[in-house]
Amino acid sequence: MSLLTVLLTLTISLLGGYAFARFSFPGKNVLFLATLAILMVPYATLLIPLYVLLNLVGLSNSLVGVALVLTMFQLPFSMFMMRISFESIPRELDEAAMVDGCSTFSALWRVLIPAVKPGLITVGLFAFLAAWNDFMAPLILINDSNRMTLPLAISNLRGQAQGVVDYGATEAGVVVLALPCILLFLILQRHYVRGFMSGAFKG
């Protein structure tokens, strides 16, 4: 679920950030503000309507459905991050690539993606951490115990033995839950900091 959330978030925010940063079209700023407006809606209030919607399209009680929901909540920050990452790159780089025969997507793939790699890593890291640690969405959207995410499994483990908390198993579960997050952050820390600084010196 976490990997699917990261993949969807990176793909949509990369293409959306590129479009918002490099192209002019009617309603661009309104659409961007509408995307950011998702941040103003309380997270928990949307889960029940989203549960009904996923049930209508056949994705209820599905990790794919949960990944789609988590991707939606990651998009405002991710889109904003990728837009400022692309805007920090001079447009002359795109123009030079197109003079050399690149198409729009070819210039994006060959020239711009390597340039915005720190921003992509930052967005991917945030999406992974949010999906890996999320408790509320899987709790509401998943009913099958075989599809429970790790936070849900640890929560259920605590109260299985007639209300007696198994502290050893709970602490082991918390360590397992935390290790991938710590390792990823340590490995990608340099790119993470550069991603946040990518738009700081624009202009």
Count the neighbouring beta carbons within 10 Å of the beta carbon of residue 80: 20
Spell out the per-residue pLDDT of the chain, length 203, in tens. 899 999 999 999 999 999 898 888 888 889 888 888 888 888 888 888 888 888 898 888 888 989 999 998 898 989 988 988 888 888 888 888 888 888 888 888 888 888 888 888 889 988 999 999 888 888 888 888 788 888 888 877 766 556 677 777 778 888 888 888 888 888 877 766 555 555 444 44
Domains in the chain: ranges and CATH: 2-197 (1.10.3720.10)
Calculate the alpha carbon distances from 62 to 134, 135, 201 in Å. Answer: 15, 15, 43
Count the neighbouring beta carbons within 10 Å of the beta carbon of residue 140: 15
- Quick check: 78 and 6 in contact, CB under 8 A? no
Q: Kindly give, in sequence order, each residue whose CB lies less than 8 Å from that of residue 117, ignoring residues fewer than 6 positions away.
A: 191
Sign of the alpha-carbon torsion through 103, 85, 198, 183: negative
